[in-house]
Amino acid sequence: MPFLKSQSANLYYEKWGERGSTIVFIHPPAMGATTFFKQKSLSREFQVILMDARGHGFSDNGKGTLTISEWAVDVYHLLTELQVRQAIICGYSSGASVALEFARRWPEKTKGVVLTGGFPEVCTTLLRKQFHLGIQLAHKNYIGLLGQILSFSHATDLRHRRLIYDTILQVDPSLLQSLYESGLSYKVTDQLSQITVPLLLIYGRWDFYVHYYPYIFYKQRKGLPTDLVFVDRVAHQVPTRQSDVYNAIIKRFANRLVPE
C-alpha cells in the first residue's frame, strides 16, 4: 500500500494508469477514496489518482486538524511526490472546495478543474443546514449513523456500499468535525476570477439545494472558460449513481484540454 508523508501525516493514495492526462479525484468528508471506486475505469486512458484525506480511510491524523487549505497542501505534496507536472483536479461536494483552493494556489500545476455538486462558499440555508448536521454527527461521534446514511444514499452496488460504509467507520470524528467547520466558513467567491483554467461544473438534475451556485460561478468568471452540465435522474451522488455518464463527461473534458 503506497503512503505519502505530508504535514506530519502518513497519507494513503492510489495511482491507476500510466498514460494520458493525470486526473486527481478529491472525496467528500468522511467517505474517503472509495467514493471513486467506479472512476478507476478511466485509468484505461488517463492516470487516475485517489487519496484518503487525513483521518480518513487508511490515512492517519498527522497533527490532528483538517481544513480545506491543509487538504489542498496535502494534494500538492502528493503531486510533487509523484512528479506530476499538471493535473485535472476533480472535487466532489465539499471536496470541490479543496479543488478550488488547489487551483487558486497552484495554477501552474492545474490543467483544469471539475466540480461536482460544488460551491465557492456556503451561502444558502439548505446547504448550511447540511454542514451543521455533519458537524453535529461528528461532534456526537455518530459515525455509524453517518456511514449508513452516506453509503445507502450513494451506492446501489452492495460491494461499493460496503466499501464506503467501512471507510466511514474509520474516520476520526474530531478531524471530520474540523473539516466540516472549515468547509462551512470557506469562501473563494471573490477569487474565482483568478482561477483562469477551464472549469467544468457538474450537478445532478435533482440536486436542488446547490442549483443556485452555478450563477455565482458564471457571475464571477465572466470571460473565463466555464461549462455547466446537469445529469438527469440523480441528485447529489453523480459519481456513484450515474458513474457511466459522469466518467464520459470527465473523459470528454480531459480530451478537450491542451495536452501536456
The answer to the question of residue 4 being in a domain is no
Q: Which residues contact 93 (CB under 8 A, 6 or more apart)?
A: 28, 29, 116, 117, 118, 236
Q: What is the pLDDT of residues 2-26, one digit of tens each?
A: 999 999 999 999 999 999 999 999 9
Binned at pLDDT 50, 70 and 90, residue 259 comes out as: low
CATH classification of the domain holding 135: 3.40.50.1820
Binned at pLDDT 50, 70 and 90, residue 63 comes out as: confident
- Whole-angstrom CA distances from 25 to 90, 93, 96, 99, 224 are 5, 11, 9, 9, 23
The reported pLDDT for the residue numbered 13 is: 98
The reported pLDDT for the residue numbered 258 is: 64
The answer to the question of residue 1 being in a domain is no
The answer to the question of residue 135 being in a domain is yes
The three cell numbers of residue 138 are 461528528
The answer to the question of residue 71 being in a domain is yes
Q: What is the pLDDT of residues 141-161, one digit of tens each?
A: 999 999 999 999 999 999 999
- Give yes or no for residue 33 having a pLDDT over 60: yes
The answer to the question of residue 3 being in a domain is no
Q: What's the number of domains the chain is made of?
A: 1
- Whole-angstrom CA distances from 40 to 92, 127, 179 are 15, 29, 26
The answer to the question of residue 186 being in a domain is yes
- Give yes or no for residue 73 having a pLDDT over 60: yes
Give the structural domain span for 111: 9-256
The answer to the question of residue 112 being in a domain is yes
The answer to the question of residue 16 being in a domain is yes
CB 177 within 8 Å of CB 139: yes
The candidate with the shortest Cα–Cα distance to 14, out of 26, 29, 3, is: 3
pTM of the predicted protein model? 0.97
- Whole-angstrom CA distances from 54 to 7, 10, 85 are 10, 8, 23
